[in-house]
Amino acid sequence: MTTELTLLGWTLVLALVHIFAFATVRTKEYGSKWNAGARDEAKPPLSPLAGRLERAQANLFETLPLFAAAVLIAHAAGREGGQTVLGAQLYFWGRVVYLPLYALGVPYIRSLVWVGSLIGLGMILVAILRPA
């Protein structure tokens, strides 16, 4: 398996980490009875930590389909290697670093890390869209 596909697989694992991190904190706040129920009743706002984890998860899920599609297109088109490897690494490691930065409420650096991950995604897109 290529480096890009391996990083895509690990990004899916990271997506599960996001899901479980938010779900764990939310369940701790609202209780397991709420978690197991229909969740029909209104609840108080989430704590700042839970809110940040929810937003970090949503942020990942905004770009994950694009990253997955780009990696799969690069693979299918035989455009993998070099630039796509570096792009996938930038995207993945940027997303790994982004979660704790967001959870801790670190401004500016978090945004720079996010931009870095998008640069990685852009590198893959440039590689697959340039003429052969």
The 10s digit of each residue's pLDDT in 39-59 is: 888 888 999 999 999 999 999
| Residue 6 to residue 113: CA distance in whole angstroms | 21
| Residue 15 to residue 82: CA distance in whole angstroms | 25
Instruction: List all residues 6 or more positions away from 74 whose beta carbon is below 8 Å from its beta carbon.
Output: 4, 80, 84, 124, 127, 128
Checking if the pLDDT of 71 tops 80, the result is: yes
Cβ atoms of residues 71 and 124 within 8 Å: yes
| Residue 52 to residue 103: CA distance in whole angstroms | 5
| Residue 121 to residue 110: CA distance in whole angstroms | 17
Domain annotation for the chain: domains and CATH numbers: 3-129 (1.20.120.550)
For residue 90, what are the CA distances in angstroms to 32, 47, 82, 83, 85? 37, 31, 12, 10, 9
Section 100-116 average pLDDT:
97
Which is more confidently placed, 113 or 132? Answer: 113
pLDDT of residue 132: 74
